[in-house]
Amino acid sequence: SGDLSIIYYAIRVRNWTIRTIDELVRGDRERAIVKAFTIGVTEGIDDELKQAYAAGGAMHALAVSGMHVSILYGVLLLLLKPLERRQGGPWTIALVSLLVLWMYAFVTGLPPSVLRAVAMFSFVAVAKPLGRTTAIINTLAASAFFLLCYDPNLILAAGFQLSYLAVLGIVLFYRPIYNLWEPRWAWLNWTWQITCVSVAAQLATLPVTLYYFHQFPVYFLLANLFVIPISTIILLGGICLLLMSPIPFLAEWLARALEFFVFLLNEGLFLIERLPASIVYPISLSLVQAFCMGALLMCIYRLLATRKAIWMYAVFGVILVFLTNSVIRSGVQDRQFVVYKVSRHTAIEWLGGGKSYTLLDSAFARDPAGIKFHLEPNHLANGVHQADFVEPNYDQGANFFVFGSRQILMIHSTKFQPLGAFRSHYLVISSNAVKSLKTLSRTVTFDYVVLDSSNSSGYARRIREEAARLGKPCHSVLTDGAFIKYL
């Protein structure tokens, strides 16, 4: 109950910040971006604006995570720098940093992405007065270890992977890249530093971003030259706006300034998006290829650091594995039957020969963003270039398909009444549509039961138990994940 009360009050503070920003900032887009940068609320950002941020490689700026916390921590270190040489100064800096970072996490509502980032930088803050700054990689590893002990499933979260890889990339690659050129003038040195940070973070996160998002922003270097400084201004300005909200004239002035900087950022990204070939899409990368890209980066890094021939051989070995996997993927044209895990919805698909046939419930069929998120990665992986949609048979409450040599019966309504005895290899049940497998089995012979994610969890448990008594294997998408069968 203590944890719940903390989260309750954190959400109340977060709701207050939303109301404050809504009252002070004018313009729908400006208001949405200030909320996204300051507290991570992305509702209200339209699709056109999201696409512009994606084309500029700036989507990370829309979700409060590692970048925002690192900016805040960096500004704190700068402001507290005079305390460094005083007695107990390093520990004072660490304690103040911890206090401010966790207060910021509280204001954002304690979402998982912010908790991960704040926990990571908390370890970094404590490591500095302990004299462990040279072992920053060990500090990162320790923070990741404790977070994974708390929640092992974090290892599967894209945000967790990207946060740690971005910081690791900056730690490993920033200095070697920066040393390639040392500009004379301060403004050019500042530009070069931002470029090096962008390249280092992009290099480390590239395998993961290509694997999950299937696109590459070509002009990310150009975009980050203004995205990083303006993002810093918006983040710090948003925090100051909340602090100054009791003083109307100061809050009003800050709000107008924030609107101006948000306008500059948005227009700059729209300009980047209009450049030719601003984004490479789609890119299909297998899990093996993503691991190979990561291994290749590390082998090249070790080769440049040690100049040992073994790392050269490792580079060629990784490239060989990557190319072999590419050839295998291009040669395999398996027919695939998939029941996707889409919360409270039905999404069933048959893929083969570059085509797909998809059956969706009526609500999910009206959600193009959801369809793109859940189905498109599999289309890319299987080389689908033609997607056809199949309407559920609402009159009879079921659809019957023949795919290759397999028959598939999909029952989505209690209306279904079989006209006679027949056989189906796979029985797919949606929307709690079958009252009893034993009763159904008197007229329908089936080998395998699949329960999609539109069924309730209690219903899925009951049907699984009944299937076990009948000696029929049963796969519940709710608990077992997507059902994928190669036919």
Query: Per-residue pLDDT tens for 59-92?
Result: 877 777 777 888 888 888 888 888 888 888 888 9
Q: Which residue has the tokens 């290759």?
A: 404
> SS3 of 477, please?
helix
Q: What is the mean pLDDT of residues 367-392?
A: 84
Q: For residue 408, what pLDDT band results from cuts at 50, 70 and 90?
A: very high
Given a cut of 50, whether residue 1 has pLDDT beyond it is: no
Report helix angle 220-244 to 186-213, nearest 10: 100
| Sign for the pseudo-dihedral over CA of 224, 229, 232, 233 | negative
Q: What is the mean pLDDT of residues 296-323?
A: 92
| Of residues 57, 49, 34, 40, the one with CA closest to residue 195 | 57
Given a cut of 90, whether residue 54 has pLDDT beyond it is: no
Which helix (H) or strand (E) segment holds residue 409: the answer is: strand 406-411
> SS3 of 230, please?
helix
**Which 8-state DSSP code applies to residue 128?**
T
Measured distance CA(449)–CA(467) in Å, rounded:
8
The pLDDT of residue 332: 61
Measured distance CA(370)–CA(133) in Å, rounded:
43
Residue 258, token pair as written in the block: 């924030």
Query: Per-residue pLDDT tens for 316-356?
Result: 999 999 999 888 776 665 688 999 999 899 999 998 878 88
Is residue 149 exposed (0-12), middle (13-18) or buried (19+ Cβ within 10 Å)? exposed
Query: Per-residue pLDDT tens for 160-194?
Result: 888 888 888 888 888 888 888 888 888 888 888 88
Query: Per-residue pLDDT tens for 348-365?
Result: 999 887 888 999 998 998
Given a cut of 60, whether residue 134 has pLDDT beyond it is: no
Measured distance CA(418)–CA(355) in Å, rounded:
30
Q: What would you measure as the largest C-alpha separation in the chain, in angstroms?
A: 88
pTM listed for this prediction: 0.74
| Helices marked H in 382-470 | 437-440, 457-470
The residue count of the chain comes to 487
* Amino acid (one-letter) located at 187: W
Cβ density class 321-338: b for 16+ within 10 Å, e for less: bbeebbeebeeeeebbbb
| Of residues 123, 117, 90, the one with CA closest to residue 104 | 117
| Helices marked H in 275-422 | 287-306, 309-331, 362-365, 368-381
Q: What is the mean pLDDT of the chain?
A: 87
> SS3 of 448, please?
strand
| DSSP labels, 242-254 | HHHTTSHHHHHHH
Structural contact between residues 437 and 443, judged by C-beta atoms closer than 8 angstroms: no
The pLDDT of residue 133: 55
Given a cut of 80, whether residue 7 has pLDDT beyond it is: no
Q: Considering only 111-125, 185-199, 301-315, which range has the smallest mean pLDDT? A: 111-125
Residue 418, token pair as written in the block: 């079989």
